[in-house]
Amino acid sequence: MNCCNDKPIIELPAQERLCKRHFLEYFENKVFKTIRKFDLIGKEENLGVALSGGKDSLTVLNLLSKLSKKNPKIRLTAIAVDEGIHGYREKTLINAKKFCEKNNIPLHIYSYREEFGMPLDDMLKTLDVKPCTICGIFRRYILNKKSRELGFTKIATGHNLDDEAQSIIMNQFKNNIQASARLGPKVGIKQNKNFVQRIKPLYLCTEKEVTIYAYISSLLDNFNECPNAAKSYRAQIRDMLNNFESKNAGTKYAIVNSFLQILPGLNQSFQGEEAGFCSSCGEAASKGECNACRYLDRLDKAGWTQRRMIKN
């Protein structure tokens, strides 16, 4: 049924259709309820927000900015990573800078070139690897390292319900249940002094909902997708789930909600794990060298002679 007499802009899985005004209210209440339900943010935080300049991260920063204005003890700082993807990242960083300047939010930008001596585009010319694999490893490395250096108590990311459903299915298909134990609204099995906990305020929001919210809230006026995204395994899972969702509304919700029911058991199964430290750079690692250092070793062996910033 319709929420009121105004023109609806979205139909939810329960077939409820909402107008613009009621959708904004619904969406924001949903995010703040998620924060409370999973105890994502305390009464006092030095909170970092991973900001790419895309719809998801701008939505998270916008909502957390509203929360911070109500509670000044929740301090916000945005952190962005320039991977070095020509024709893509420089565009989204413009959105990031504009938003932060308009809302007086400090923004720190770090790049692969500065941290590792080489942008992603050049890395992909040097190694025959899947772009999203190596990019994700280096991106998480920078976000965690810089978040710790900036003294963040937590870092919020723009991962939404679609992202989580994709990760759950990917881990199932790859028989990697241990990785699933590190999913959820709060990322990580055990606290580690070298690991800054990541939180996902958009955890129960679909990508469609986030997209609509971002546009009608004037957070951005165009959509830029990473040119490497279509080459990823995740893209195949995304298309499969979108197909299921189009024929069976609520599929993604069902995947995530059922996963939340078994997540405590997964955490219990892997609670004995102790995160170690990388023998080369000192960052958190399961054993031996971290994945970032392993890829840098491969780049060295491939003839890369630039300075390896990560090990200095």
Per the model's pLDDT, the better-predicted residue between 211 and 281 turns out to be 211
Encode pLDDT of 78-93 as tens digits: 999 999 998 889 899 9
pLDDT (0 to 100) of residue 268: 85
Range of the domain at 176: 18-311
Report the pLDDT averaged over residues 288-302: 86
116 alpha-carbon distance from chain centroid = 21
Report the pLDDT averaged over residues 112-140: 91
Is 5 domain-assigned? no
pTM over 0.85: yes
Q: Six-digit token pair at 131? A: 């772009």
Is 217 domain-assigned? yes
Is 50 domain-assigned? yes
Cα–Cα dist 22/3, whole Å: 7
In this structure, what are the phi and psi dihedrals at residue 243, rounded to the nearest 5 degrees? -65, -45
Encode pLDDT of 247-259 as tens digits: 998 999 999 999 9
Strands 8-11 and 17-19, by their bridges, are antiparallel
Span of 146-155, 199-208, 213-222 with lowest mean pLDDT: 213-222
- Say if residues 116 and 254 touch (Cβ distance below 8 Å): no
Report the pLDDT averaged over residues 143-161: 96
- Say if residues 189 and 274 touch (Cβ distance below 8 Å): no
Report the pLDDT averaged over residues 276-296: 82
pLDDT (0 to 100) of residue 284: 76
- Say if residues 100 and 65 touch (Cβ distance below 8 Å): no
pLDDT (0 to 100) of residue 307: 42
pLDDT at 125 over 60: yes
Encode pLDDT of 15-55 as tens digits: 788 999 999 999 999 999 999 999 999 999 999 999 999 99
For residue 225, give the nearest of 49, 53, 50, 51 by alpha carbon: 53
Q: Residue written as tokens 């932060």?
A: 100
CB within 8 Å of 289: residues ≥ 6 apart: 278, 279, 280, 297
pLDDT (0 to 100) of residue 221: 78
pLDDT (0 to 100) of residue 312: 45
pLDDT (0 to 100) of residue 254: 97
pLDDT (0 to 100) of residue 87: 86
Is 1 domain-assigned? no
Report the pLDDT averaged over residues 292-300: 89
Is 144 domain-assigned? yes
In the chain, what is the straight-line distance between the N-terminal and C-terminal CA atoms, in Å? 61
Is 184 domain-assigned? yes
CATH of the domain at 254: 3.40.50.620
pLDDT at 311 over 50: no
User: Mean pLDDT across the chain, nearest whole number?
Assistant: 89
Q: Give the CA count within 13 Å in the CB-facing half-sphere of 270.
A: 18
Q: In this structure, how many other beta carbons lie within 10 angstroms of the beta carbon of residue 152?
A: 22
pLDDT at 310 over 60: no
pLDDT (0 to 100) of residue 255: 97
Is 9 domain-assigned? no
Q: In this structure, how many other beta carbons lie within 10 angstroms of the beta carbon of residue 81?
A: 24
pLDDT at 13 over 90: no
- Which amino acid does the sequence have at 191? Q
Is 7 domain-assigned? no
pLDDT at 306 over 80: no
pLDDT (0 to 100) of residue 187: 85
The count of domains in the chain is 1
